[in-house]
Every structure is written in C-alpha cells, then in structure tokens.
Amino acid sequence: MVRLSDMTADDAAHLLSKNCPSFPGEPFVAGPPLKERRVAIVTTAGLHRTTDTVFDLTDIGYRVIPGNVQAADLAMSHASVNFDRSGFQDDVNVVFPIDRLREMKAAGEIGAMADFHYSVMGAGWEPHEIEPTALEMAALLHQDNVDAALLVPV
Amino acid sequence: MSALGHFLETAGIATAGISLVRENTELMRPPRALWVPFELGRPFGAPHAPAFQMRVLLSALALLDRTDGPVILEDFPDDAPESDSTASLVCPVNFPKPPNPDESDLLRAVLAETASLAPWHALFMETHGRSIATVSGLDIDAAARYAAAFLEPRSNPEPPEGRDQASTLRFAIEDLRNWRLEAITAQPGPKPSSKTLADWFWGETATGALALALHPVLLESTSPRLRQVGKGQLVPRAQQHRLG
C-alpha cells in the first residue's frame, strides 16, 4: 500500500507542489455501453517500442504502440527516477494492461480494441502544454473509430 | 494525466483514467477517474496478478457507463497484493567501497558485478523473454564505461551517434540499474518489494556507488544538461540520504 502519507516527506511534498490547474470537468462525452465501445490505452509512462526514439526531458510528443504489440517490444524512457520500474520489468500489464484488455475483448466486455494505442512521457511539461499533442492523438483515435480512452499514469 | 483527459474529451473522445495521487486529481477535475492506493510505477497494482489487474481495469472502464458526471472520482477499495518487504538480497560482489573511489576502482567493480550477475540475467531473459535495460543505446559494459568516464577529470565522453550526451548518461545508469534488478530478481526466493530492490541497488551495489559518485561531479559540470541530470535524474529522492 502506498499513499502520500506512506511516502517520504520529500516525495509527498514534490507531488503536492505540482501545478494542478482546475479543469471544468466538461465536456463529459457520452457514448454507447462499455461492451460496445472501441477502447484505446493512452499512457503517460514514457513507453515506446524498442525501435522508437527514446523520450527526452521535456519531450512532449507521442509514440504509437500497435495493438498487436508484444511485451518484448516495449521499452520505457521516462524522465523521472522517482517511481518503481521493477513491476513493469516483471510484467508490462502492471503499467500497460494490454493483455487484460485483450481478455476483456475476448469475453465481450468491451466491443473492440483500438488498432493503435498512444504513449507520452508525463514529466517535464506543464498541463496546458499537452493540448496540441492531445488534440493530434484525438484525431488519430477518431480515425481508428475509438470512442473510449483508458488513461494510465505511472 | 488529468489534462490529457480534459483535452481528449474536448476533442470528443470519452475518457476514464487511473489516479495515483488523489489530492492532485481532486484539484484538476478530469471527467472520470479511479483513484488507486498503489505505489508510483504500478497503476494496476502488482505484476503477475491478472485477476487483481482485471478488477482495477474493470473498475476504471466501468466509469464510462456512468451518467452522473461531469467529474466522477471513485476510490478503488483494495490495496495491491504485497511483495515480500522482508526478503533479503545477495550482492554477489564483495565491493569494499573505498573512501575516495576513483574512476578505475569503480569501473572495475561495476564490470565485475556485471560478470558475476550475468548468469542470473541470462536466466531472467529465459523466463521473461525481454529486458528493459535497452534505452541508452549501449551494451551493458559500454554503459558502465560511458558512465564511469564522467568521473575522469576534463572528460567529454562521446555518446552513440544521434544521441545526446546527457540523456545517454542518465539512460546508461538506468540500464545498469534495470539490468541488475532483472538479474537479482531471477535468483531463488520470495519476490522482494520495490523498496528492498531500490535499497539494495543504491546501498549495496557497485553501480549504485558509481551513480552516487557521479552526483557531485555532474552538479559542478559546465554543461547545463549534465547539471540537470545530476540534480534530478540520477538519484531518486528516497535515496538521496546516501549522498555525502
């Protein structure tokens, strides 16, 4: 179990010092039931295929992760040294639940999986700076007929 | 993550997110979020716990069927399955930690450590079929030589073609650390906790000593990027008590 109260004082203070602007909560996009939705994963874990360019500090671009990606093809180049990597090392699904999503598709609990998932590196930029990247990813998600994104931090 | 949720919804994509820091999510008000009481780096709780991971995933995606927003912030009720925080690890190299280690002492110790752990890393590769110690663009001994070279006076190590010098250094240290964690977790015994692994790496290994020795050197560098690596991308805050 890890909560802020379980962290070192420095780690907790650092997390609470982050710039956290308040968004309006809207729009609040509706859609079909979950079992009819086409779902993509969007992660801020700095994941990418091993053949892709690594993320540099302040890199605000995205990397594309094909839906048929294998665990051995995934690397992580996140700028922060202040989180655990050993879980991801042992099992990618602890960060990027691609196998669980495949199981949900097979069980009919979601309608479909996206052909492509997306990754950004969630450090070194302010919240408003991610807007152009988010809008570009949204356009690509629409082209993939995605109507639900699972957002996963690290 | 909350900002991404807001901007994707603005563009018409419904989102449901995981929150690792509830206090920040409360402030930022993404449309739908599931707070989980797990450590940073493990948003789905624990490795090789598929049933638990599935519960987290189902709980997050179930928020998409809710109509009582905007702004839904739910709490996942359970803690992650625990690793063994009492499990101890064996450092295979008797590294004496000289009081004023120079570059050659540290490099020799790091290379010896790698050689000693290599059979365990090979076993990790057999069982996992992958390594995440690949981001520097250097093989594991070259990563050690590259990092140790920064301890030499007036050195200016050359990164691989197309790579940045400072980024290559931080990724070299990351590769060396991840490679060692892969090797040590292939050894028999209960799965150690992430804290046990971090304490082992930073407190017991030659590579941890190398990274700690780099810290003051980088802070004095004339390169702003190297100073930036030294300040915030080398030693985790939870391990900085080891710095002199």
Say if residue B136 is in the same domain as residue B184: yes
- Average pLDDT of B49-54? 98
Question: B123 to chain A: which residues are within 8 Å by CB?
Answer: none
Question: B167 to chain A: which residues are within 8 Å by CB?
Answer: 54, 56-57
Structural domains of chain B, count: 2
Distance from CA of A93 to the nearest CA of B (A): 7
User: What is the DSSP annotation of B69-86?
Assistant: -S-EEEE--SPPPP-BTT
Report chain B's mean pLDDT, rounded to a whole number. Answer: 92
Question: A147 to chain B: which residues are within 8 Å by CB?
Answer: 13-14
Say if residue B131 is in the same domain as residue B182: yes
Say if residue B114 is in the same domain as residue B208: yes
Task: For residue B206, tell me if it sits in a domain.
Answer: yes
Model pLDDT, residue B15: 97
Q: Which of B75, B95, B128 is the last residue of a domain?
A: B75
Say if residue B65 is in the same domain as residue B159: no
Task: For residue B86, tell me if it sits in a domain.
Answer: no
| B23·A16 Cβ contact <8 A | yes
| B185·A89 Cβ contact <8 A | yes
A135 has pLDDT over 60: yes
For residue B172, the chain A residue with the least C-alpha distance is A77
The two three-digit tokens of residue B193, written as one number: 């906790």
Dump pLDDT digits (tens) for B97-144.
555 556 688 999 999 999 999 999 999 999 999 999 999 999 999 999
B91 has pLDDT over 80: no
**pLDDT classification of A54: cutoffs 50, 70, 90:** very high
- Looking at chain A from residue 82 to 101, which residues have their Cβ under 8 Å from any Cβ of chain B? 82-91, 93-95, 97, 99-101
Say if residue B13 is in the same domain as residue B117: no
Model pLDDT, residue B167: 95
Say if residue B123 is in the same domain as residue B222: yes
Say if residue B159 is in the same domain as residue B223: yes
- Looking at chain B from residue 106 to 165, which residues have their Cβ under 8 Å from any Cβ of chain A? 128-130, 132, 134-135, 164
**Residue range of the domain that includes B219:** 103-242
User: Distances in Å between the alpha carbon of A60 and those of A19, A37, A55, A128?
Assistant: 17, 28, 8, 11
B156: left (phi over 0), alpha (psi -120 to 50) or beta: beta
Asked if B87 reaches chain A (Cβ–Cβ under 8 Å), the answer is no
Dump pLDDT digits (tens) for B139-188.
999 999 999 999 998 889 999 998 999 999 999 999 999 999 999 999 99
Task: For residue B163, tell me if it sits in a domain.
Answer: yes
Model pLDDT, residue B131: 96
- Alpha-carbon dihedral B206, B209, B210, B213, rounded to 10 degrees: -160
Say if residue B8 is in the same domain as residue B120: no
How far does Cα B227 stand from its chain's mean position? 20
Say if residue B107 is in the same domain as residue B157: yes
Say if residue B235 is in the same domain as residue B119: yes
Task: For residue B238, tell me if it sits in a domain.
Answer: yes
Say if residue B112 is in the same domain as residue B180: yes
Amino acid A89 reads Q
Dump pLDDT digits (tens) for A80-93.
999 999 999 999 99
User: Distances in Å between the alpha carbon of B204 and those of B164, B172, B208, B212?
Assistant: 30, 19, 7, 12
Model pLDDT, residue A4: 77
For residue B228, the chain A residue with the least C-alpha distance is A57
Say if residue B230 is in the same domain as residue B139: yes
On whether ipTM exceeds 0.90, the answer is yes
Q: Which of B75, B92, B116 is the last residue of a domain?
A: B75
Choose, out of A28, A121, A141, the residue to mutate when testing the contact with B (most B CBs < 10 Å): A28
Phi, psi torsion values for A46, nearest 5 degrees: 70, 35
Asked if B240 reaches chain A (Cβ–Cβ under 8 Å), the answer is yes
Amino acid A42 reads V
